[in-house]
Structure 1
Amino acid sequence: MRTRRKYANIMASARAAGSHNGYTLGFQNGRRLGRCETVIRAITKESHIRHGMSVLCITSGLGVPFAPIDKAVLEALQMQVARVGAVSALDDIVKTARDFKPDLALVLLGMRVEPETVNRLKAMGIRTAIWYSDDPYYTDMTRNTARHYDIVFTNELSCIEFYRQHGCRYVFHLPLAAHFKGFHPKPVRVSYMSDICFMGSAYWHRVEFFDQIADYLATKNVRIFGIWWKRLKSYSRLKSSIQTKWLTPEETANYYNGAKIVINLHRSPHDETFNKNSARIPAWTTNPRTFEICASGTFQLTDAREDLTGLYVPGRDLIVYSSPEELVSKIEYYLHNEEERNQIALSGLDHTVRNHDYHQRIATLLRTINELPI
């Protein structure tokens, strides 16, 4: 009888604790989502000019992470031009262009579009533009294709002079952005929740960095997603926190929304194992995750890039770290300062909604093209 009573007391205590924790978690997340909704509702979105042109969008022909960019660009084009056609880089581009008769052929990424194809489009009287979205990592390849286009847009600020030196007359910086249909504040199940989250492949400089903070991360509720993470020396310590796979954009957004802190650690432009960047062009512009994390209304800790201050205000919209030790210190601080953490996340959300979606990028692209004397 005494044993039964003791067991009943333990169960009652556990139920009470679970109920309290569930209530607290629900309250915190509901409050966060309510504040995010208030921020979004307060923003009056600018209506973009609808151009009377027809555009054939030549998509990357690749999967994640490029296919979601293709989708976001197509959606933005459909809102801003008279006619939009789409063809994969793997399909018959010239035939599609001949049938569709566009004013402009816009190539996304372009890794699978041959220069001869671009030349044939130009011979048909079609203006050609490319938006490189993975610069500067494969510039050994892009420098041989860029000069065939009438207009070059690059996600990387440091590549503007590079392309000009390789014969491109019109070159413009156009960073990537957030696709708000995929990345926005939303409720998620408890299984998506964590203290700390990181998304990205285990390039060697990331492996070295995470090995230095592995002991700390092992004490937290951490989620790490991406390929090659078995390279970690400390993999056995973090194994339960790692999933070595790509996630869909929807799943990525779920984990962002469930995290208290999302770490952003940019890829190195000088990793000769994977990159094709023999000119060693630096990487100044932030990656797409910078925009996507903020668009999710989640607090971001990111390493700094030179162009970051041209896109966000560090200290207001997100927080910057410069070493493993500083990252650990700031994680610890912001995990224990919820209101400050949430206020920065809200500011990042506000700034992203106002300035960094694909509708705004496409508006800039179309305006730039229409103002050129060609």
Structure 2
Amino acid sequence: MTILYIEWNSFGNEDMKEAFQTEGHTLICFPFSNKEGRHDETVESSIMGVLRKKAPDIVFSFNYFPLISNVCKKADIPYISWVYDSPYVMLYSYTVINPCNTIYVFDKELCLEFARSGIHTVQYLPMAANTERLDRLCPVPAQIPILYDISFVGSLYTEKHNFFERMTTLGGYTKGYLDALMSMQMHIQGYNFIQDSLSPIMEDLYQALPMDPNTDGVETREYLYAQYVINRKITGLERAELLRAITRHYAMDLFTHDRSYSMPNLTNHGPVDNVIQMPLVFKQSRINLNISLRSIKSGIPQRAFDIMGSGGFLLSNYQADFLDDFIPGKDFDYYESKEDLLAKIDYYLSHEDERQAIAGNGHDKIAAAHTYRHRVREMLDRFQ
């Protein structure tokens, strides 16, 4: 098949293009800015020109763009998108129901929400890893030195200008309500009640930080504040709390954009690139933590696939979708509370053979069923 590949500065571009081509498909790459996602007559005209001239069978992009969907609808050509961001507000555009769309999301519960609303253009597809590329980084696994006992790669959402910190005029009642709400949510894994709990303080939130839904979408203010402001803040608080708990007992290594972040017993290495440095960290760590963004309902984050695909041992918070494809204690493991996390860290640091076996099983399961090539076949089977 010939595929018009919408190429923007997304994660996974090279792995996805390689997978399409290895599976025998021809790619036509179209440079795109994700800032043009909703409407731009010049870009729309340019895409339409390529569709008419090259006549591809399918258009593909990482993440979903209403602009591209509308062009594909006019041209009567299938548009496949694979959304890896969470939250992702463009999923609530009216264009989602365009018949040209097949929109893949990595979160099964999110997919079911759309299905319950009668929207069937949104389908479930987990993320992936390119194990062949990751294996080439260290051809002989036994020769990889272990440099870190416990590692975390990710954001702590400590940037000074994040949305939550801009709400400086909140009233005392709203501050107390939010503090209690966030504290309760931090103690619950597998269910998020933030969005359903904001009505009593919605007007105060809006006065402190005005955010309005897009005119072409059905997202609510509650969705915007819950997913883009409060869940992100909870994630930052949760990650910091878990890091503090761990470093009271163990040395830990952090890889994050905020180089100033510090606490006793924590080594902050700054950021790492996703292609080479990050996989090496996963390979060189005894335990790799995944602490999911709270806006993810049940899905397996891309970071978890990166860790297992690199041959690293994954210890994650509980996400229901893991259990569809991976076995806890065999392919990875998960924790259900801060106390459980500390107990499992202690266990796996003292059971090296078991830890290595689990890391190997996780890698092999990714290689057998969860690479980008597997996902390309799943995406395109219905069109061939």
Q: Same fold (TM over 0.5)?
A: yes
Gaps of at least 5 residues in structure 1 are 1-52, 270-281
Deviation at 1:166, TM superposition (A): 6.3
Q: CA deviation at 1:105?
A: 0.8
**Residue 100 of structure 1: which of 36, 49, 54 is its match?**
54
Q: Is the 8 A contact 2:57 2:77 kept in 1?
A: yes
Letter in 2 for 1:227: H
Matches within 5 A, 1:290-305: 290-305=304-319
Partner of 2:223: none
Structure 1 position 197 matched with structure 2 position 151: yes
Report Cα offsets for 1:149-179 as digits up to 9, x if no partner: 4322222212223334666443321111112
Q: Where does residue 88 of structure 1 map in the other structure?
A: 31
Tell me how far apart the structure 2 counterparts of residues 236 and 89 of structure 1 sit (CA, whole Å). 41
Which of 219, 228, 237 lines up with 2:264 in the alignment?
Answer: 237
Q: Give the one of 97, 101, 121 matched to 1:147.
A: 97
Please tell me whether the aligned partners of residues 193 and 259 of structure 1 are also in contact (alpha carbons under 8 angstroms).
Answer: yes
Q: Does 1:256 align with 2:282?
A: yes
1:306 lines up with 2:306 in the alignment: no
Q: Relative to structure 1, is the Cα distance of residues 259 and 96 closer, same or farther in structure 2, using a 3 angstrom cutoff?
A: same
Give the % identical residues. 22
What's 2:122 paired with?
A: 171
Question: Kindly tell me: are residues 102 and 319 of structure 1, through their superposed partners in 2, closer, same or farther at Cα, counting changes over 3 Å?
Answer: same
Q: So what's the TM-score if we normalise by structure 2?
A: 0.68
- Does the 8 Å CA contact 2:107/2:321 hold for their aligned counterparts? no
Deviations 1:318-350 (A, max 9, x none): 111111221111111111111111111111122
Rounded Cα–Cα distance in structure 2 between residues aligned with 1:120 and 1:211: 46
**CA distance, structure 2, for counterparts of residue 254 and residue 222 of structure 1:** 16
Return closer, same or farther for 1:81/1:126 CA change in 2, 3 Å cut-off: farther
Distance of aligned partners of 1:246 and 1:296 in 2 relative to their CA distance in 1, 3 Å threshold: closer
Distance 1:302 1:249 in 2: 21
Partners of 1:108 and 1:132 within 8 A in 2:
yes
Kindly provide the amino acid, as one letter, of the partner of residue 193 in structure 1: L
Partner SS state of residue 266, structure 1: coil
Question: What displacement does 1:256 show?
Answer: 0.8
Residue 119 to residue 238, structure 1, CA distance change in 2 (3 Å): same
Once the two structures are superposed, residues 110-168 of structure 1 have per-residue CA deviations (whole angstroms, 9 ceiling, x without a partner) of 3xx443x4323332332222222224x12x32210422343222222122233346664
Deviation of 1:249 after TM superposition, in Å, equals 2.1
Do the aligned partners of residues 129 and 165 (structure 1) sit closer, same or farther apart at CA in structure 2, a change above 3 Å counting? Answer: farther
Normalised by the size of structure 1, how large is the TM-score?
0.70
Cα distance change, pair 286–210 in 1 and its aligned pair in 2 (3 A):
same
Rounded Cα–Cα distance in structure 1 between residues aligned with 2:265 and 2:271:
15
**Aligned partners of 1:246 and 1:97: how far apart in 2?**
38
Give the length in aligned residue pairs.
Answer: 292
2:156–2:240: 8 Å Cα contact kept in structure 1? Answer: no
1:71 and 1:261 map into 2 onto residues whose CA distance is 27
Q: How many Å separate the matches in 2 of 1:153 and 1:79?
A: 21
Residue 196 of structure 1 aligns to a residue in which SS?
A: strand
Q: CA–CA distance in 2 between the matches of 1:192 and 1:226?
A: 20
Identify the residue that residue 63 of structure 2 maps to in structure 1.
109
Determine if the alignment matches structure 1 residue 56 to structure 2 residue 7. no
Q: Name 1:27's counterpart in structure 2.
A: none
- Of the three residues 65, 70, 74, the one matched with 2:13 is 70
CA RMSD of aligned residues (A): 2.7
| Paired residues of 1:256 and 1:293 also in contact (CA < 8 A) | yes
Are the equivalent residues in 1 in contact too, given 2:272–2:278 (CA < 8 A)? Answer: no
Shift of 1:226: 1.9
Q: Residues 259-300 of structure 1, C-alpha deviation per residue, up to 9 Å, x if partnerless?
A: 11111111101xxxxxxxxxxxx6111111222211222211
CA distance in 2, matches of 1:309, 1:357: 18
Verify the 8 A CA contact 2:246 2:252 in the aligned structure 1: no
Query: 1:225 matched to which residue of 2?
Result: 255
Q: Is the 8 A contact 1:57 1:108 kept in 2?
A: no
